[in-house]
Chains A and B, each alone.
Chain A
Amino acid sequence: MGGVHPDDNKIARECPIEVLPLPDTVYVSMAQHLGAPAKPVVAVGDSVKAGQVIAEPAGFISAFVHSPVSGTVKSIAPRKDLAGNPQIHVEIKVEGDEWAEGIDLSKDLVTSIPDDRNAMLDRIKACGVVGLGGATFPTHVKLNPAPGKVAECLIINGAECEPFLTSDYRVMLERPKEIVVGAAIMQKILGGCRCVIAIEENKPQAVKVMSEAVSSLGYAGIKVSVLKKKYPQGGEKQLIDAVMKRQVKSGGLPIDAGAVVQNVSTALAVYEAVQKNRPLVTNVLTVTGENVPANMQHNYLFRIGIPLSFIIDHAGGIPEIAGKIVSGGPMMGKAVSNIEATTVKGSSSVLYLSEEMTRRKEASQCIRCGRCADACPMGLEPFLLNRLAKADDMAALEENAVQDCIECGCCLYSCPANIPLLDRIRIAKGQVMGIIKSRNIKK
């Protein structure tokens, strides 16, 4: 249902993953995951090693944070994040590159999977693994469905439907076997359900490499599936629809439809956590943009806590065409208002977009053409929601399922009148979700 077809612009797809060098100082955010920000457990002046725990989860939905480098803790203070809002960051001065004990840094593939399900879950939690597809939801919570809910299918998301981004694609090409082992681990944790690695049809090379990895490793019940190219094919609910031909009911979770969706990079992180005891302190991001010189296009393996300005300088500075810098894809990514902000676990890109491409055009009247309703992958009516949001009609908004909006931006993209549909709908969604939550608490 719905969806739009922007140019895929995967310009950096042929750039192999390079290891980004370390800056002098890193600033590790305590709010790198969905849920409560982590609580620092180190003090100023402590010396830490790479992979050592520096913050504990502060709630059920929260995650451990580890030091990405070895060095000395210089400060624990608020610092502005990507959006300019202050968050607690742990500042670490980099000294050498020494890793904590018990972490296997070798590149050898470990294919035998441990038997103890709970021990594996604990390891994933202890290594601070969160979903790397964008939402950064703690993985151990998602892999441990509530009692009574059974996972029938594990979907490994290799769709990467956002234009420009190539980090997941490169990870699939360069670490296919690790991803498959990671998928098999999660499959075992979920009780041996079937597993589908879903890849969009515009990545034939990745489909080939992943299929080869699956057949060479020979785990039972894993297969690669090719999906149509459209945005947002990689949305959780869209993937479940495409792979399992099932729809998640309004207000429900994927597990209600018997599905668990994890990103390919998350599968890699799970592999490294369980088989190598290696905490999640690295990820891959793409530096790219249209009309950006070829020598400025990169895929970097970065450590968390590195300022974006350092990455930009290392990649060759801000290109002339850049009118806006975005972190994440062009559809759902966030504009970077502060390039001193640092990388987090879920960082996926530094994207340069031209002013012409991003400048908002003046909005005119809605002509009820219905293109937004056609484009909405959740089957909502954005023009109606926009009107109700303007009138602050919360009851009608809830009736029209504003809470099911996935904020993909298809409505805004398709609107010929340039109406800022998503802006208003997002706010209304937040308000309605708040009302629903407080009502559930009262019950």
Chain B
Amino acid sequence: MTSTIIWTIVVLAGLGLLLALVLFFVARKFKVEEDPRIDEVEKVMPGANCGGCGFAGCRAFADAAVKAPNLDNNFCPVGGNEVMKKVAAILGYEIAEKVPQVAVVRCNGSCANRPVVNEYDGLQSCRVKAALYSGDTGCPYGCLGCGDCVAACQFGAISMDPQTGLPAVDDSKCTACGACAKACPKHIIELRNKGPRSMRVFVSCVNKDKGAVARKACMAACIGCGKCAKVCPHEAITVADNVAYIDFTKCKLCKKCVAECPTGAIHAVNFPVLPKKTETKEASNE
């Protein structure tokens, strides 16, 4: 009995030793030479493997960054400037700082603003819904409300607001990887500059219908009247296809357009509430 156990141990240990030796020599013989900097770069990466940089994961990004002649086309949106500085230090490159960005949901078709005109009882997926028809409200451009963006976000930064039925982005968690923007079949979500102290102004509507049609479908729709473009002192606003767009690189956050907009489609978020002026439109981050 004891001899069986001893023999078993001896045979298994011997086998293990033999195979370990084989593996050791094979590993030496067929070793792939890899730039050690790839490992170093990968170590400083956030490790989310989100694909926001355009590569398959953090290691693929590190590999590309090491091979590239400079870092102009490689940027990790999750790690931001801090991580990129570290990467540049390892590789000995120089980089220009990028302005941090955040995902912005450009639809304000909440339950109150946008009446439901038909019932959808199919699969709860925006992609499936968009392939079937324009959606259960009168607006064929707006949010479908099934939460594909929520499912796409790896950082838990988007959640559906049960009151409005729209996705809400948590600025502190959003890394601007752009996964939600890709997942949205209506292309409502845009990456915009985060702005100083997260203050930003944007048109929360992408409806290209003519004013009357858009307004009928949604109380908060941009009707393309162009008042905002006229009042803007920085020429940041353009109106095309009946919808206004604010260029975030030109916007100086003067908020003149917010006051001018007749439908409240322009949102100014995270501005401090001034003691005397009571502005009701701001503060909500939708």
Contact = CB atoms under 8 A, between A and B. Distances in A.
Contact of A337 (B118, B125, B131, B208): B118
A58 interface: no
Given A78-B209, A86-B209, A423 B123 contact: yes
Interface string A68-100: 000000000110101111100000000000000
B134 A430 contact: no
B128 A335 contact: no
Given A78-B209, A360-B122, A423-B122, A85 B131 contact: no
A420 B133 contact: no
A86 B214 CA distance: 12
Interface in B128-162: 128, 131-136, 138, 140
B235 to A, nearest CB: 28
Interface in A282-340: 334-335, 337
B140 A80 contact: yes
Q: Which of A82, A83, A359, A426 has the most CB of B within 10 A?
A: A83
Nearest to A79: B213
B123 A84 contact: no
Nearest to A83: B133
Contacts of B208: 86
B140 A424 contact: no
B266 to A, nearest CB: 23
B122 A337 contact: no
Contacts of B131: 426-427, 430
A86 B241 CA distance: 13
Contacts of B127: 427
B121 interface: yes
Interface in B183-213: 208-210
A78 B212 CA distance: 13
Interface string A417-432: 0001001101100100
B109 to A, nearest CB: 14
A82 B118 CA distance: 13
Contacts of B210: 77
Interface string A83-119: 1111000000000000000000000000000000000
Contacts of A77: 210
Contacts of B123: 420, 423-424
A83 B131 CA distance: 10
A334 B122 CA distance: 13
Given A78-B209, A80-B140, A427-B128, A85 B121 contact: no
Contacts of A426: 128, 131
Contacts of A83: 132-134
A420 B118 contact: no
Contacts of A85: 133-134, 140
A431 to B, nearest CB: 9
A337 B133 contact: yes
Interface in A392-442: 420, 423-424, 426-427, 430
Nearest to A86: B140
B7 to A, nearest CB: 46
A11 B135 CA distance: 32
B127 to A, nearest CB: 5
A335 B121 contact: no
A337 B128 contact: no
Contact of A420 (B117, B122, B134, B136): B122
Contacts of B136: 337
Contacts of B125: 423-424, 427
Contacts of A337: 117-118, 133-134, 136
A424 B128 contact: yes
B34 to A, nearest CB: 27
A209 B227 CA distance: 67
24 contacts: A78-B209, A80-B134, A80-B140, A82-B133, A83-B132, A83-B134, A84-B133, A84-B134, A84-B138, A85-B134, A85-B140, A334-B132, A334-B133, A337-B117, A360-B122, A420-B123, A423-B123, A423-B128, A424-B125, A426-B128, A427-B125, A427-B127, A427-B131, A430-B131
Interface of A: 77-78, 80, 82-86, 334-335, 337, 359-360, 420, 423-424, 426-427, 430
Top 7 A-B residue pairs of the complex, sorted by shortest distance between their CB atoms: A84-B134, A83-B133, A423-B123, A420-B123, A423-B128, A360-B121, A337-B118
Given A334-B132, A337-B136, A420-B123, 13 more contacts: A80-B134, A82-B133, A83-B132, A85-B133, A334-B133, A337-B134, A420-B128, A423-B125, A423-B128, A424-B125, A427-B125, A427-B127, A427-B131
